[in-house]
């Protein structure tokens, strides 16, 4: 049985990925931080159609909690096949001159450090060098890594820029150890994250500047992630799929 651990899969892109992964035959470890009800709803949705899933609480900005998460997933499902580093946060839109040290710590711990540590724990389990069967890592970056998100959240953009560098470097480090590392870079996806930025209607405001003239669905990002998690992408490592409506 294939097992996929998706960080932050109680809501949004992670939740859509969990549902699609179960349809494609993965047992799904649904990680959440605070919203147990949303996580349990996704698990129930998967189980109601015959899939296999379980919810695991862990804050990915905390190393000890990440280590516990991986141990619990080992116990529940065994053999990890795929890690999706999806959990991510942003904060109120702001110019850099008003961004605090504490905010930078929160953003980089959740978006960047957490992904690094999750990769480390996944490597120990999947690498053929350590007796594993190989696997895939998919990082959820953002188009902000390319644009820099000026006047909104340069901190968030930079935390995702680091994810792009991680993807490129790690793909080469692991190429001979049976693990492919790729990323998706979404933008303008209809999820709750825009509320955290202080502008729930952000997609509506920028819609006309998107070539496809609409926001995207979480399920459209999930499709790209599942392609990268499958053998169909077997000759791709270190690549980025932009899911951005053409921006």
User: Which CB sits closer to ligand NAP, 123 or 225?
Assistant: 225
Select the span of 85-93, 95-103, 128-136, 170-178 touching ligand NAP (CB under 6 A). Answer: 85-93
Which of positions 50-69 make contact with ligand NAP (CB under 6 A)?
59-61
Closer CB to ligand NAP, 127 or 139, in the complex: 139
Instruction: Tell which residue, 109, 67, 85, has the closest CA to residue 5.
Output: 85
Q: Could you give the residue ranges of the DSSP H alpha helices within 49-192?
A: 63-77, 101-108, 114-126, 144-147, 154-173
Draw the binding track, 105-124, toward ligand NAP (x: CB under 6 A; -: no contact): -----x--------------
Strand-pairing partners, residue 52, are: 27
**What is the strand order of the sheet 26-32 is part of?**
52-57, 26-32, 2-6, 82-85, 135-140, 179-186, 240-243
Choose one: 6-14, 91-99, 120-128, 130-138; the region binding ligand NAP (CB under 6 A): 6-14
Within residues 163-202, the interface with ligand NAP by CB under 6 A covers 186-189, 191-193
Respond yes or no: is residue 32 known to be catalytic: no
Q: CA–CA separation, 182 vs 167, rounded Å? A: 6
- Looking at the Cβ atoms of 132 and 215, the one nearer to ligand NAP is 215
Could you give the count of Cα atoms lying within 13 Å of 8 in the half-sphere of its Cβ? 20
Q: Is 142 in the site for ligand NAP (CB under 6 A)?
A: yes
Stretch that binds ligand NAP, among 11-19, 70-78, 92-100, 145-153 (CB under 6 A): 11-19
Place of tokens 């690094």: 116
CA distance 225 to 19: 12
Query: Look-up: residue for tokens 């179960």?
Result: 22
**Based on CB atoms, which residue is closest to ligand NAP, 178 or 206?**
206
CA 41 from centre of chain:
19
Q: Which of 2, 3, 8, 27 binds ligand NAP (CB under 6 A)?
A: 8
Active-site residue, selected from the candidate residues 32, 130, 153, 156: 156
Q: How many amino acids of this chain bind ligand NAP (CB under 6 A)?
A: 31
CB count, 10 Å around CB of 15? 25
The answer to whether the beta carbons of residues 45 and 11 sit under 8 Å apart is: no
Among 12, 135, 161, 197, binds ligand NAP (CB under 6 A): 12
> Which residues are catalytic, by number?
156
Residues that bind ligand NAP (CB under 6 A): 7-14, 31-35, 38, 59-61, 86-89, 110, 140, 142, 186-189, 191-193
């Amino acid at each position: 049985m294939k097992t996929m651990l998706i960080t932050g899969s109680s809501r949004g892109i992670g939740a859509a990925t969990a549902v699609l992964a179960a349809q494609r035959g993965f047992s799904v470890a649904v990680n959440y931080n605070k919203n147990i009800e949303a996580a349990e709803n996704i698990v129930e949705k998967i189980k109601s159609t015959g899939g296999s899933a379980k919810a695991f609480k862990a804050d990915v900005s905390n190393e000890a909690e990440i280590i516990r998460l991986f141990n619990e997933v080992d116990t529940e499902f065994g053999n990890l096949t795929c890690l999706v580093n999806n959990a991510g946060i942003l904060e109120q839109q702001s110019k850099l001159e008003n961004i605090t040290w504490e905010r930078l710590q929160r953003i980089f711990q959740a978006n960047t450090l957490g992904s690094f540590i999750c990769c480390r724990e996944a490597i120990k389990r999947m690498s053929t060098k350590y007796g594993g069967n190989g696997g895939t890592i998919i990082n959820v970056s953002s188009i902000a890594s390319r644009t820099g998100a000026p006047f909104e959240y340069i901190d968030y953009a930079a935390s995702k820029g680091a994810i792009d560098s991680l993807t490129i470097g790690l793909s080469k480090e692991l190429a001979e150890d049976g693990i492919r590392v790729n990323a998706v870079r979404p933008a303008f996806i209809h999820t709750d994250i825009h509320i955290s930025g202080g502008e729930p209607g952000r997609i509506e405001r920028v819609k006309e500047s998107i070539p496809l003239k609409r926001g995207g669905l979480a399920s459209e990002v999930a499709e790209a992630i599942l392609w990268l998690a499958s053998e169909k992408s077997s000759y791709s490592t270190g690549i980025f799929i932009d899911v951005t409506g053409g921006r």
